[in-house]
Amino acid sequence: MDRHSHLLPLVMALALVTAGCSEDKSASQPQVMRRTVAAQVTTIQPAEVALYRVTPGVVVAQESVQIASRLMGYIRDIAVAEGQPVKAGQRLFTIDPLDIQGAVEQANLGLRQAEDAMKDAKTDFDRFEALYKDDVVSRQNFEKMKLNYEIAASRAAQARAGLVTARGQLRYAVVTSPINGVVTRKLANQGDIAAPGHPVMMVENPARMQVQTAVSEDIFRTLRAGDAIRVEVDGLTQPVTAKVARLTPAADPMTHSYSVKLDVSAPGMESGAFARVLFPAGKHTLLAAPQTAVLDRAGITGVFVVDAQGNAQFRMIRSGKIEAGQVEVLSGLNPGERVASGNAQALQNGDHIQGY
């Protein structure tokens, strides 16, 4: 017998043990399964978009009235509150009419006295006229009585006019709104003294609003009345379209800018709101991805790029403006690449897109 023959069974046994260990190790390792996810895919293509030159503006009411009293006096009561709609002719506040009522009574008394004096003068005039016809009194005396009567009649007419004026002043004690609108500001309170020229409140018509802005000469030269201009207004979620209503041809001597007013109408717009007026300034080409494709993963902005085999990999991008559901891509993507644009939030690196 060969001297190595007794080692053969031992070698075979070790080989079987080694094979068995190897099979057990590979069986214990988990198999990585690639997920398949249903997602919409969009191909990135260059797009031509409009450029704008933006100028700041402010929303103002075309009809804005400062309401003041024509009389000096205490404000007896205020019938409206800020933000309240009012109709033309509706009472806003009342001035204490005590002083005016006294003036009316005094004018009434003056009129009665003047009319009594006119009656006496008329009686004397009639009597002297008859005597003058009978040659009892001289023409000089008759003319004197006639002059006295004319003066008395003139004073009575003045007193009558004074009474009309006093009664007219009494009418001004009740202050009404000259327009349909909304009370936007209350500048005085009940018990304050109102005076001519000092506003008590402001009323604006919210149905007729404008945006006022100032533009440089190069923009001004391109504008025409009726041009449609996009405007972004604080408080509104979407831009609105305004129309150029007025172009002031004279430049401001300090800023060398031109005033432009644009008619605009949108629910919820309030006077005094800040606006951004977007004047067209040509077009340029850019890459844009659907807003639904752009994700934030651990503070990184990116998209899932889908390769030729339909596998998704997250890639960081640098984004720009967002408009009409599209995000401007400044870097990170190339034309023709595909991105997951629907159900992208459900994807992970390496996922396979269903249908690819």
- Read off the pLDDT of residues 106-139 as tens digits, 9 standing for 90 and up: 888 888 888 888 998 888 888 888 887 888 888 8
Backbone angles phi, psi at 206, to 5 degrees: -75, -10
C-alpha dist (Å) from residue 12 to 3, 18, 24, 88, 208: 17, 10, 19, 112, 101
Q: CATH assignment of 97-172? A: 1.10.287.470
What pLDDT does residue 16 have?
40
- Read off the pLDDT of residues 285-305 as tens digits, 9 standing for 90 and up: 889 999 999 999 999 999 999
Mean pLDDT of the chain: 86
- Read off the pLDDT of residues 99-113 as tens digits, 9 standing for 90 and up: 776 777 788 888 888
CB neighbour burial string for 221-244, b if at least 16 within 10 angstroms, e if fewer: eebeeebebbbbbeebeeebebeb
- Read off the pLDDT of residues 2-14 as tens digits, 9 standing for 90 and up: 444 444 444 344 3
- Read off the pLDDT of residues 313-354 as tens digits, 9 standing for 90 and up: 999 999 998 887 889 999 999 999 999 999 999 999 999 999
- Read off the pLDDT of residues 149-180 as tens digits, 9 standing for 90 and up: 899 899 988 888 888 877 767 788 899 999 99
54-63+205-283 architecture in CATH?
A: Beta Barrel (2.40)
CA distance 334 to 312: 16
- The pTM (predicted TM-score) of the whole model is 0.54
Q: Which part of the chain has CATH 2.40.30.170?
A: 54-63+205-283
Q: Which CATH class is domain 36-48+285-353?
A: mainly beta
Confidence band (pLDDT; 50, 70, 90) for 90?
very high
